[in-house]
Amino acid sequence: MNLPTKALSLSVIAAIALAGCGKEQPPPPPPVQAAPPMVIKIGSVAPLTGGIAHLGKDNENGARLAVDEANAAGTMLGGKKVSFELLSEDDQSDPKVGNTVAQKLVDAKVAGVVGHLNSGTTIPASAIYNQAGLPMVSGSATNPALTEQGFKGVFRVVGRDDQQGPAVANYLAGQTRPKTVAVIDDATAYGEGLANEVEKTLKAAGVKVLPREKGTDKTVDWKAVLTKIKGKNPDAVFYGGMDATGGPLLKQARELKMTAVFAFGDGACTDKMAELAGPAAEGLLCSQAGIPVQAAGRKFLDAYKAKFKIDPILYSPFTYDSTNLLINAMKKADSSDPAKYLPALAASDYNGASGNIRFDEKGDRKDAEMTIFTLKEGKITPVAILKSGKSMTLDEYARASAPAAPAPAAAAVAASAPAAVPVPAAPAVKN
């Protein structure tokens, strides 16, 4: 009787053992997921529709390139990985629309703003950003009033019109020696402000300036204004406005057989003038409140061309730098909180695509360059770069900026550029 009992016990033990071997094991714990990066929004505002949308898109491209590069490089703030997001808005070159999109960016809780393009939209929008405690850096607004408001968070990385106006006026006076000049503006903060500075400088140099003529930033039929001016036979005409209106102005002037030299500010200092005015654009003079785009850093020029499949037009090197200034200040402060990184932004000493950038107490760029151009064979070509009271050719500027070897693009453009003409010193301008 003992044997069957033992056999039964062994069978039970074996069954239990087999059951234990077949029991499912609990699944392994899921892998620890990396925390998603913290998103930091940066606003960008420019006219992306309308007559100067090409310039607005160029500005936006510069900002977008800087954001994409920062994300590719990886950025840590406060011990956390961050991802920058560009919120791009179209202000249509309209101050009212500009204020609307400025408030939209404030409500979106951006950490800073790059823009606007036009002085007429930038100045009123700056008050909205200031009220919200948001730093803004413009890469193209040149009216002195922008930084004369006393706002601590407002900066620009280009020169002012009270620097640009005397530069182009003195060049015009020294190069063509006009006895009488007609001045026209588009009635915007930019166009009128720049024309005022040009007129002031010409009068100080003893040049007769005719009573001011005006249009708007949408005027394309200038024949009535030009017919009135033609009767007074000026030796030169200066127009304060953008290329979308400056091109038709120049084309119609030549159709009326006007032989005066035409000069423009940075808003009309683009290759677009050759498209809008045709052969009439050849030989025009114009200025830019910064270095020519050809003299921007090679790394920027190559990256821009690779990403957008086109060459930069005008102020994208400056909006690229503006964006990087915001990001660099955040890194230094280890925070995207505007109140914390603003002191680092104000104290910037940054080497960017447009050269070294430092700000004065008003938020203006210290020792900003000015460039004089002519339109040659359909292309805006640098004639002289003015810095610290010195006039240089593009080739000379390239050597001074990079003693070892000038950038290939700069050297190529300089080879075809006219020799620089000495520019008389500008008279002191009171702000």
DSSP state letters, 393-405:
-HHHHHHHH-TT-
pLDDT over 90, % of the chain: 77
Residue 5 has pLDDT above 90, yes or no: no
Q: What is the per-residue pLDDT for 424?
A: 39
Name residue, tokens 């203006």: 364
Q: Which residues have a Cβ under 8 Å from the Cβ of 102 and sit 6 or more positions away? A: 45, 113, 125, 128, 129
Cβ proximity of 114 and 42 under 8 Å: yes
pLDDT value for 304 = 97
Check pLDDT > 60 for residue 411: no
> 209 phi and psi, to 5 degrees?
-115, 125
Cα–Cα dist 375/181, whole Å: 20
Given a cut of 70, is residue 80 above it in pLDDT? Answer: yes
pLDDT at 326: 98
Predicted confidence band at 29 (pLDDT cuts at 50, 70, 90)? low
Q: Is the pLDDT of residue 423 over 60?
A: no
pLDDT bracket for residue 7 (50, 70, 90): very low
What's residue 30's pLDDT? 63
Q: Is the model more confident about 11 or about 93?
A: 93
Q: What is the pLDDT of residue 104?
A: 98
The closest alpha carbon to 190, from 158, 220, 221, 222, belongs to 158
> What is the pairing mode between strands 285-288 and 370-376?
antiparallel
pLDDT at residue 393 in the model? 83
Question: What residue ranges define each of the domains in the chain, with the CATH number in brackets?
Answer: 38-159+295-358 (3.40.50.2300), 162-288 (3.40.50.2300)
Provide the whole-model pTM: 0.80
pLDDT tens digits along 334-381: 999 999 999 999 999 999 999 999 999 999 999 999 999 999 999 999
pLDDT recorded at residue 426: 37
